Structure 1
Amino acid sequence: MNQHLKRSLLGVLIGGMAGLGATTSLMAQSGKAATDDPALKIYRAAATKVNDLVHTKLDVRFDYPKRYLYGKAWITLRPHFYATDSLTLDAKGMDIHEVAIVKGGKTTPLHYSYDTLQLHIKLDKNYTATESYVVYINYTSKPNELKVKGSAAITDAKGLYFINPDGKEPNKPTQIWTQGETESSSVWFPTIDKTNQKCTQELSMTVPDKYVTLSNGKLVSQKKNTDGTRTDTWKMDLPHSPYLFMMAVGDYAVVKDKWKGKEVNYYLEKPYEKYAKNIFGNTPEMLSFYSNILGYEYPWVKYSQITGRDYVSGAMENTTATLHGEFLQKTDRELLDNNNYNECVIAHELFHHWFGDLATAESWSNLTVNESFADYSEYLWLEHKYGKDAADEHSYEAAMSYLSMVQYSGDKDLVRFHYHDKEDMFDQITYQKGGRILHMLRNAVGDSAFFKSLNLYLKTNAFKATEAHQLRLAFEEVTGRDMNWFFNQWYFGQGYPELDISYKYNNNKVTVYIQQIQKDAKVWQLPVAIDVYTGSKKERYHVTVANKVDSFTFAYTTKPDLINVDADKVILSKKDDHRDFSTYAYQYAHAPNYLDRRIAIEAAVEEQGRNTEAIKLLVAALKDKYHGLRTLAVSSLNMKLPAVKEAALLVLVEMAKQDPSSLTKAAAIKQLGDLKDAQYTPLFEAATKDRSYGVEAAALEALAELDINKAYGIAKQLEKDSRGKLVSAIAGIYARQGNPDDIAFVAAKFDETTGQDKLNAAFDYLGFLSKINNTNAVQRGVDQVKAMTVQFNNSQVNTYISNWLQEIARKKDNDATAVSGSDREGLQQQAAYMRKAADAIRTAVKE
């Protein structure tokens, strides 16, 4: 499961509110007071196995008008160890028509009881662990009539989704897709819906002949029926968990690829067919790369990827058939500004086919053995394909995401046997922190041991359920080392170290003091590399921090230019490093890692107003080999300072014209735009014809600061091919012009935006509404955003939207004091309407 919504939510919300001028006090309104939650006292053990699934055979057809699935299931089971004469299956919100035992091709009815969530069956006899049996169930699944609760990462839990089944929404395709994680597969077929169950599968779907189908495994037959339908049968010969079962139906284009003779197919909405290879084209290389580094070849019969409209999460690693949210469907132009995000999602779900699908977490408490590996696979792919800087930037952003979450929500154990709800496990601790822990583990044991340990873990636990201790045992067997110290502090504990680092030079010796200043009493054991640089020479020392205060002394003949603590920049921590700026200047020029250079750039940003060396460093960073650091340096320049402007201006102009990264080019244009200097008008006009929407947007906004009428005219020309940041730029210009005819564009763009992008669009839309005085348009826009919150069904999204509406209402009330007559009345009416909507959205959060 890719945590697309959760991962980007905090940044989007903060960024959106900053655009309005809201303060962090607005963010704080969403916090909840800690309570004594009785659910946290429950020990969340792995599910007890009474019966084991062996094989599931399903025959399903769909009633589009009713949003029903009519299903028949033949479930083969076997007692796990102890003999039993009963069977309990998860079956949520169904109508159960028949339950029978199957023997010799004949069915015999069985006694059962059903409480709408579980089906309790009395078997025809006592079965031992050496005997298997087949239960037949005829049922109707009614997902839209089921009352269920989702989470921040998975916003809905009805398992089976009918998208535009009546075809009444003109801009939306008709689709059916499923989402099994966490325990929602049992909405559309009876099963034992637990991660520690695994079985083989056969699924027959009867659908209108015009539609394409996808499920796990191989398509083994297609049969056309006389009523205009077709029955497709998919077969999965290797066992996997019920939450990984999937099916999808729709009018898709199928673009075929291959890897080592296996099918690798991409299912997209037809307008995106021509972009399939732009979006998914690196999948075969990923299959080779991951198979090679793990020493374990991709084990499944095929690999397909499909998109789903109105998907309730980011993406899902259904075995051999990953389902992505429609946000992945992007044109080649959009992908210019994507900064490899799409590829990280694709890599994440593919890696799950080893960690999650092959070796599966035995319980949600151990979810990290699925998700931390998928999270870390993003680092591995970026490192392989785009270099270590790209990977380290991604890792840094993941670490910041975790640290930001802890600031607002508090920390928890990585392996968590106590939680309020299993859905709570899908957070930045399981994902981003877990990925950073794996990075530290890799550094601690070395690459060779790390990947050999993963190979052993996979081979030992293939097609089984597993937990973090089994991962530890694999590392211990390979390395010959006891690894409890690492797992106890990082996997079975919480928090992170906070380090205060200082230096004392005396008699050709330097002593490095590392003090652990975190508030809790926990003392961390941290293997640390310390690099001592003198001139062009570097000497590395390996030490272990193990006490509240540790000191390490190194002799020298010439005073070092830099002492680089945590030289590999892998420790998940906060650091306060007490040293002179001269060491950061040296660090930028000599220390190799992305974070070495980033930390130096950030130090220079603080010093640029009073230190000429800091300005030199920032100008050097404008030519950094990695675009992410060039972008950081560009965005951090204080061009109001004459010395900075003089040193950087010519370089900025060249970057704005020809930097190879669209992100860096857009940042340079923004800096030049902030100067409001008419000499750059031709540069901005030329940039509004760039291939990148982000560059076009930056140029349009810069032009608007110089000549709003010219920018408005260009915006009208760009309307017909506008996506992403360009839509936001056009909306901002239209808001300034105040032409009522332009409101239709902003409203229509919001309507056509889907998935995670709709959340981003909501902030653009509300920003637009905050600046215009048109009561009908404001009320219509507020209604659209309110409807979006219902679709997202996410308490965090709804809380922030509610808070922001209140903030805009206050702004409109203030604006009303400066005008009179109908203008004042309109603004007051708009403010009241926003407050009413905010209250309704907040009430929905409480419910």
Structure 2
Amino acid sequence: MPIFMGKHVCSCANGHTGFSPDSVEPHHAPDLALEPVHLEIEIELFIPERKAKLKVTHTLLARDAGASRIALNGVGFQDLKVKGAEFSYDGQTIDLTLKPLKRGDEKKVTLTYLVDEPASGILFSSPDEDYPEAGFWAVTDHETERARHWLATIDHPSVRPTLEFKITAPEDVYALANGLKVGEKSLKGGRKETHWKLDIRCPAYLTCFAVGRFTRASDGEFEGRELAYFAPDYHTEENLIRSFGRTGKIMAWMSKKFDFDFPFPKYYQFAAPGIGGAMENISLVSWDELFVLDEVFAKEFTWLVDQINVHEMAHSYFGDIVVCRDFSQVWLKESWATYTESLWLEDQYGADEAHYDFYRNAQAYFSEADGAYKRPLVTRNFESSWDMFDRHLYPGGACRLHTLRKELGDKAFFRGVKAYLKKFAGHTVETEDFRRCLEAESGRTLTRFFDQWMYNPNYLSLKVEYSWDKDKGEGRLEVNQTQEGQAFAFDLDVLVVVDGKPTTHTFRVTKSKEHCSFSAKSEPTQVHINPQGNVLMKLEFDPGETLLRAGLDSDLLLARIHAAKTLATKPTKANVDAVWKRYAKEKFWGAKQELLEALADFGTQHAEGLFTQAVKDESDPMVLQSLFSSARKYKNQDIKDAISERLSKGDLPYLAARAAWITLGKYRDEAPLVEIADAARKEGFGGVEQWGAIEALGETREALAAEILMERTRRGATSARNRAMAATTLGRLGAFLDKRAQAQIVEHLEALLRDPETKVGSGAVQGLVELKARGSVAKMRTFLKRLPAQDAVSLGRVVEKVHAPEDQKVLALEKELEELRKSYRGLEDRLAKLEPTKSES
């Protein structure tokens, strides 16, 4: 599951902030009496000026007799002219009126206009005084409804014209777009026109171009489809191949897995700053340049980059060739793409990798469902389409697909999936289309399953009690469904080990409370519930310490994790030693992460000593980031010194170093402020380690850190992403400083609201919210008007939190606790000075 820095990376840059109330009007697909069936885009780019001139020609097909009106999205266009229709334009919507057409008639309408520094949709970059080394490029980034900021179109997935691009740009750039290149010609003034054509229907959010001075890495072809990767020219071919060089292998696996030839004529991928994640544009996938790997970054990040690669390619099937009819149905693309990651791991690396992916998906989904809101996977009630792109959709939906697969069995499930892809290729779909294909191939009625898993806002939560009846030779289970609402119907697997032999008993559960039993020749030495993750559930199950310690040695990963997590709530020396022993011999990186987290959760002095040893000795790059993050649960000099020493060697991979700096920052006034500040001034590869040092400055709660953070927000000081992080961190830090410092920080953050990079302004909004700067609300609301609607809705919810009084109470308590800590440390210092030395006694 590609969750990185708390966000899902296969999506837009702005994080998810909430979900709309039920009172919001439901959303539906637009009427298409006049349907755009072909789109010709002639665009001339002026990259340093961040402008583009466009001539856009729509071929409209009358689906009904008398059709004469159509509304196109188009935000902030200048000098708009229309040929072939009368029009009106309010800055958001272009209403076209044609002479009534006969059913089946086609009509061309041409629009010309200028876009000047669009709020979204196109990202521009060129060198300037503050960033003389910046790349030279213009690229698109559309999900969910951003194309409208430069392209006159119906910005909705149900509208899917075929495409032609004619791109005019400087002669020394690559000009890439969807489909196949059909020509290129030189023009006067050192410019050229590049012509691309896509004969497959394509919605606006998947329409894409990338124009710039790029490094190109060619990677051969797969069954006649060219594979190539692009990034700004300061990147190397070697790093591009290191990042994306498994693409051909993934494509071969996927086309075989789904019994469906790859549906598009090429597969290009490009990376650029500001994308914020990755996006499945047809035949031209976009990535944030954060995912371009050097040799060091590859040690800990290749796994995630490959997962994202699988995810975006899966959209070629789920989302691109089979298209969701509207945003209420987006699980049919995003949940499927996320689940395809698990299928890849299962087929390439085995059960542990797949089970761990399921576990992490489930935990990510539960964190949102328990901590923020619960919603059905399929719903029309949302304020912004971007609201749908949350952890319910990605990991939650993937877990539901896995549960569905296990309900049907592999043969019936994959028969149904293949039939669905073949039947609906080139068409739009809804959830019921998928259900009916599965029913046809399995003979099962799945309405109850879909009602409880897809249309129900709740998830399955189980509390299971276990006992052994020695006289009857019988194990007994009391199964209680503790979720709100209706009871789920599902198969519950119970694995028991008797005399060293595992046996799985399966019980059909349909009621809120049920009793199940099994017979055995002797008392089991291990008992595990849902040990292979066949059903998405939150499980509370404590069979006792003896069985739990034995469970640490299970062959099944989820059983080992459950045992460790449950033992961590029972902080005895025997339990600590058992978890440590398992960690010492564990081979799988995911299990090591969870065992170390359990060791941190024990919270005892004995566990602390063992954890400190792990901080000193652990060398697996896939484990280090999690290890240093878990170290925040202990604060002792030995751990601090061990982390500092490892950082001083300079050989930690970047994410591990990022986590290490943040952990050191949490030592507050004992944190190595000079070293943290030095790290915050060095951007380094990808800016990842710097990112951590910037966050660490905020964790120190030291007034001097505010000056350093202010400097890091300066244009030219570092990347826009890290400037935004510095702005947010500055506000977080300011909440613990005196009123004079807070006033200075508020003034600084308010100035950043006017920064040309809206990413930085958004970071400043987050910082002002952290400060509860009520006096800045009007300025923040003014800033929101610069953003595309979906971002304004999301960030607007954050702004409204400024008025939450309970947050002020929490902040006051944290300040009081911090003052008590400082007083206690001061008392310790005074006592130390009064204590006689050995020579004096």
Relative to the length of structure 2, the TM-score reads: 0.80
* 1:235 paired residue number: 197
The structure showing larger relative contact order (alpha-carbon pairs under 8 Å, at least 6 residues apart) is 1
For 1:49-89, what per-residue CA distance to the aligned partner results, in whole angstroms no more than 9, with x for missing partners? 21333321221213457644322233223222545355544
CA distance in 1, matches of 2:368, 2:713: 34
CA distance in 2, matches of 1:840, 1:679: 41
Structure 1 residue 415 and structure 2 residue 398: aligned?
A: no
1:294 counterpart letter in structure 2? F
Pick one of 496, 500, 504 that aligns with 1:536.
Answer: 500
Aligned-residue offset at 1:736: 9.9
CA distance in 2, matches of 1:567, 1:287: 31
Aligned-residue offset at 1:355: 0.5
Pick one of 748, 753, 762 that aligns with 1:783.
Answer: 748
* 1:634 paired residue number: 596
For 1:585-620, what per-residue CA distance to the aligned partner results, in whole angstroms no more than 9, with x for missing partners? 122212412x22111111222223x24144223332
1:381-530 equivalence runs, <5 A? 381-506=344-469, 507-520=472-485, 522-530=486-494
Aligned-residue offset at 1:195: 1.6
Partner secondary structure for residue 524 of structure 1? coil
Aligned-residue offset at 1:453: 2.0
1:573 counterpart letter in structure 2? M
Partner secondary structure for residue 270 of structure 2? strand
* Alpha-carbon spacing, 1:469–1:6, altered in 2? closer, same or farther (3 Å): farther
Partner secondary structure for residue 260 of structure 2? coil
2:544 counterpart letter in structure 1? D
Partner secondary structure for residue 319 of structure 2? coil
For 1:366-407, what per-residue CA distance to the aligned partner results, in whole angstroms no more than 9, with x for missing partners? 111111112222323333444443443333333233222223
1:534 counterpart letter in structure 2? V
Partner secondary structure for residue 382 of structure 2? coil
* 1:150 paired residue number: none
Identify the range of structure 1 (489-498 vs 461-470) with the bigger mean alpha-carbon deviation: 489-498
* 2:110 paired residue number: 137
Partner secondary structure for residue 183 of structure 2? strand
* Alpha-carbon spacing, 1:228–1:434, altered in 2? closer, same or farther (3 Å): same
- Would you say the 8 A contact 1:56–1:73 is kept in 2? yes
Partner secondary structure for residue 204 of structure 1? strand
1:509 counterpart letter in structure 2? E
Structure 1 residue 801 and structure 2 residue 776: aligned?
A: no
Aligned-residue offset at 1:743: 3.5
* 1:550 paired residue number: 514
Q: How many residues align structurally?
A: 771
Aligned-residue offset at 1:334: 2.9
* Alpha-carbon spacing, 1:512–1:736, altered in 2? closer, same or farther (3 Å): closer
CA distance in 2, matches of 1:46, 1:317: 21
CA distance in 1, matches of 2:738, 2:292: 35
For 1:325-354, what per-residue CA distance to the aligned partner results, in whole angstroms no more than 9, with x for missing partners? 233234332333437333333222221111
- Would you say the 8 A contact 2:732–2:771 is kept in 1? no
* 1:74 paired residue number: 57
* 1:17 paired residue number: none
CA distance in 2, matches of 1:84, 1:744: 58
- Would you say the 8 A contact 1:588–1:617 is kept in 2? yes
- Would you say the 8 A contact 2:730–2:745 is kept in 1? no
Pick one of 122, 137, 140 that aligns with 1:175.
Answer: 137
For 1:546-569, what per-residue CA distance to the aligned partner results, in whole angstroms no more than 9, with x for missing partners? 111122221122112233222222
Identify the range of structure 1 (486-495 vs 373-382) with the bigger mean alpha-carbon deviation: 373-382
- Would you say the 8 A contact 2:219–2:241 is kept in 1? no
Partner secondary structure for residue 348 of structure 1? helix
1:565 counterpart letter in structure 2? I
* 1:264 paired residue number: 227
Pick one of 587, 592, 615 that aligns with 1:625.
Answer: 587
Relative to the length of structure 1, the TM-score reads: 0.79
- Would you say the 8 A contact 2:145–2:205 is kept in 1? yes
Identify the range of structure 1 (79-88 vs 735-744) with the bigger mean alpha-carbon deviation: 735-744
Identify the range of structure 1 (437-446 vs 725-734) with the bigger mean alpha-carbon deviation: 725-734
Structure 1 residue 684 and structure 2 residue 645: aligned?
A: yes
Stretches of structure 2 lacking an aligned partner (at least 5 in a row): 10-15, 784-795, 801-841
Identify the range of structure 1 (580-589 vs 336-345) with the bigger mean alpha-carbon deviation: 336-345
Pick one of 40, 59, 70 that aligns with 1:57.
Answer: 40
Identify the range of structure 1 (321-330 vs 182-191) with the bigger mean alpha-carbon deviation: 182-191
Aligned-residue offset at 1:364: 1.0
For 1:621-670, what per-residue CA distance to the aligned partner results, in whole angstroms no more than 9, with x for missing partners? 233111232233334436984644677776765x34x4464617964996
Pick one of 324, 329, 334 that aligns with 2:297.
Answer: 334
1:255 counterpart letter in structure 2? A
2:273 counterpart letter in structure 1? R
* Alpha-carbon spacing, 1:766–1:418, altered in 2? closer, same or farther (3 Å): closer
CA distance in 1, matches of 2:216, 2:653: 27
* Alpha-carbon spacing, 1:90–1:693, altered in 2? closer, same or farther (3 Å): closer
- Would you say the 8 A contact 1:504–1:512 is kept in 2? yes
For 1:70-113, what per-residue CA distance to the aligned partner results, in whole angstroms no more than 9, with x for missing partners? 2223322322254535554444443575544xxxxxxxx54444
Pick one of 650, 653, 663 that aligns with 2:624.
Answer: 663
Aligned-residue offset at 1:689: 3.4
* 1:829 paired residue number: none
Partner secondary structure for residue 301 of structure 2? coil
* 2:808 paired residue number: none
CA distance in 2, matches of 1:788, 1:385: 47
* 2:207 paired residue number: 245
Identify the range of structure 1 (430-439 vs 465-474) with the bigger mean alpha-carbon deviation: 430-439
Identify the range of structure 1 (269-278 vs 198-207) with the bigger mean alpha-carbon deviation: 269-278
Partner secondary structure for residue 606 of structure 1? coil
- Would you say the 8 A contact 2:73–2:153 is kept in 1? yes
CA distance in 2, matches of 1:370, 1:209: 38
Pick one of 743, 747, 756 that aligns with 2:708.
Answer: 743
Structure 1 residue 189 and structure 2 residue 162: aligned?
A: no
Partner secondary structure for residue 504 of structure 2? strand
CA distance in 2, matches of 1:411, 1:114: 39
CA distance in 2, matches of 1:454, 1:612: 48
* 2:833 paired residue number: none
* Alpha-carbon spacing, 1:787–1:407, altered in 2? closer, same or farther (3 Å): farther
For 1:471-528, what per-residue CA distance to the aligned partner results, in whole angstroms no more than 9, with x for missing partners? 11111122121111211211222211221211243322222121112232x1111122
Over the matched positions of the two proteins, sequence identity in percent amounts to 22
2:428 counterpart letter in structure 1? A
Stretches of structure 1 lacking an aligned partner (at least 5 in a row): 10-26, 101-108, 146-155, 807-833
* Alpha-carbon spacing, 1:647–1:669, altered in 2? closer, same or farther (3 Å): closer
1:76 counterpart letter in structure 2? T
CA distance in 2, matches of 1:259, 1:391: 28
- Would you say the 8 A contact 1:738–1:772 is kept in 2? yes
